[in-house]
Chains A and B, each alone.
Chain A
Amino acid sequence: MSVRFDQVSVSFGRRAALNRVSASLMAGSVTGIVGPNGAGKTTLLRAALGLQPLSHGHVDVLGKALADWPREALARAMAYLPQGGEARWPMPVEDVVLLGRLPYRGFGPPDLKDRLAAADALARCEAPHFARRRMDELSAGERARVLFARALATGAAVLFADEPAAYLDPSHQLRLMDLLREEARRGTAVAVTLHDLSLAARHCDRVLVLEQGALAADGPPAEAFADATLARVFKIAREPDSLQLGAFRRL
């Protein structure tokens, strides 16, 4: 078990963003986190990363309580791709990806190992030909791939990606899900928030469905996306006569 949430609650003022969520993320598997807007998907990731103080419960990472991790070691153990991330300066792609190696570096420049890890991450994201280009010369989708490569370059045991599919065209969305799968095959615990339920259904081993901060379902996609859950949480139903996976209508 790579990450364990035990009765985790988070409140923003009076509003409970997460309400006693207990769940686990397994090494070698892709876990999808879905739910309507404001259900607490991002908050769950931030809680696991230690970016969000908990009002109740605790999080264990790789068998150790989150609070007991030294900051740098935690950064090597967990990589995070925030939602809608951008590089604020038009840096060369290679330098952006190398930022993923910061937890391994002191104050010195990146060494050969860092550069090889960055080159490998870029290659896995099918972006090695961007390496010398600047971020402002790329399209939004290309930039998203570079930022994803940055998260991969860390080589962490746990990878969190918040809405990584948001700016990608359908082909690159599928490529992204393949990448997440490859990363899981290496033994990484991958957790990804998604709005696209069909992507989640087809590409995740397990799905956590959040509803107003509480865990509404947790299991394999077929189980988690039961008709009753879809109707209650998302107010949608499967199209009965459609062969298309992931065709829904509003209730």
Chain B
Amino acid sequence: MDATTVSILQEQRFSRSARWTLALIVAALVFALASFLIGPADYAPRELLMGLFTGKGAAGVIAQEIRLPRAALALIVGAALGGSGAALQGLFANPLAEPGVTGVTACAGLGAVVAMYFGLVALHPLTLPVFAIAGALIAAAILYALSKSGAGAVALVLAGVAIGSFATALTALALSLARNPYAMSEMVLWMMGSLKDRTLNDLSYALPLVACGLGLLATTGRGLDALTLGEEAARSLGIAVGSLRGRVVLGVALATGAATAAAGAVSFVGLMVPHLLRPLFGYQPSRLLVPSMIGGAAMVAGADVALRLITPDGQLLLGVITAMLGAPFFLWLILKLRRQP
């Protein structure tokens, strides 16, 4: 292979990835716009868009305080979950790793519920995301410790099931102890995830925290690539593996924790997105990180549009859609893994 061939191949691949990235961005923006325009209050797109910029009248209030937070949070939550999924799969070299399956979102939900229903949010509004991030951090740290002690792909998922069930049980306990008359219905909201009734306040903490988390994850691509050769080889290639693991765990906790504080426990996005993108971007973890963030944003915004088209009254929850798609996908993946030698 001479220099010209090499550079031609290089350019071809680059432009292919660039084209698909652009397509994902367009899809995410189109879904977010649709999510902004569709809703129970029947306003024309023009009125809503005018309202978004002027803030005047009922359309302005709805556009700025209901539709904008919802559409923006769909993108942010999706990006957080998609990016976290890609990073966890790279770190654990495990195609089944994902914030939902590994119990990270359930623990983040537990943290959020504790902060919200025991009056801690009244002390400071940031306690909600901080508790959710702390919950996510605990789950991610347990998983990390397990993987370091040699747990395989399936053992890690089983541990995630245990962590998730435990966190869900504690969430139910916390909601019961809080003597909230709406405990049951709110529990469902937290456990399935929803973008209903989100406010600008939710957006104001979710955006910077998720951005920090994803920024941290974006620095891990090179190290995760080296890790595909195993830890010893990665270290011999000059990668500080301990710092790499720390950045992934912290980045996932920040992104998933903040996203869960805003929208509850939305599952399977981080599982599906990297898998759907691998045929387009390749298997190398660094090539998947940013596309998975954009793809996750497109998927959650798309799911939000779909659920409002299916039930315009807002009865269907976001997590129901993602789980309906994700659970069969998960089973298919397990079957596929079993067939591999």
Residues of A within 8 A of B (CB): 46, 49, 51, 71-72, 74-76, 78-82, 85-92, 95-96, 99-100, 102-103, 105, 107, 109-110, 112, 115-116, 119, 128, 131, 134, 136, 147, 150, 154
Known pairs A49-B236, A80-B236; A86 contacts B230 (CB<8 A):
yes
- Residues of B206-244 contacting chain A, CB below 8 A: 219, 221-222, 225-230, 232-233, 235-240
B335 within 8 A of A: no
Subset of 29 A-B contacts with CB under 8 Å: A49-B236, A51-B232, A71-B240, A74-B238, A78-B236, A80-B233, A82-B233, A86-B229, A86-B230, A87-B228, A88-B93, A89-B228, A89-B284, A91-B283, A96-B228, A99-B225, A99-B228, A102-B226, A102-B237, A102-B239, A103-B238, A107-B222, A115-B10, A116-B6, A119-B1, A128-B1, A147-B229, A150-B229, A154-B237
Measured between beta carbons, the chain A residues less than 8 angstroms from B232 are 46, 51, 80, 82
Residue of chain A at shortest CB distance from B239: A102
Measured between beta carbons, the chain A residues less than 8 angstroms from B238 are 71-72, 74-76, 102-103
B14 within 8 A of A: yes
Residue of chain A at shortest CB distance from B5: A119
Measured between beta carbons, the chain B residues less than 8 angstroms from A88 are 93, 227-230
Q: Do B237 and A116 touch (CB < 8 A)?
A: no
B1, B219, B230, B284: residue with the most chain A Cβ atoms closer than 10 Å: B1
| Residue-wise interface mask of B (300-339) relative to A, using a CB-CB cutoff of 8 A (1 in contact, 0 not) | 0000000000000000000000000000000000000000
B185 within 8 A of A: no
Residue of chain B at shortest CB distance from A111: B10
Partner of B284, one of A78, A79, A85, A95: A95
Residue of chain B at shortest CB distance from A94: B9
Measured between beta carbons, the chain A residues less than 8 angstroms from B239 are 102
Q: Do A109 and B14 touch (CB < 8 A)?
A: yes
Quote the shortest CB–CB distance from B221 to chain A (angstroms).
7
Measured between beta carbons, the chain B residues less than 8 angstroms from A105 are 222
B149 within 8 A of A: no
Quote the shortest CB–CB distance from B93 to chain A (angstroms).
4
B7 within 8 A of A: yes
Residue of chain A at shortest CB distance from B283: A89
* CA distance in complex: A152, B268 (Å): 40
Measured between beta carbons, the chain A residues less than 8 angstroms from B233 are 80-82, 85
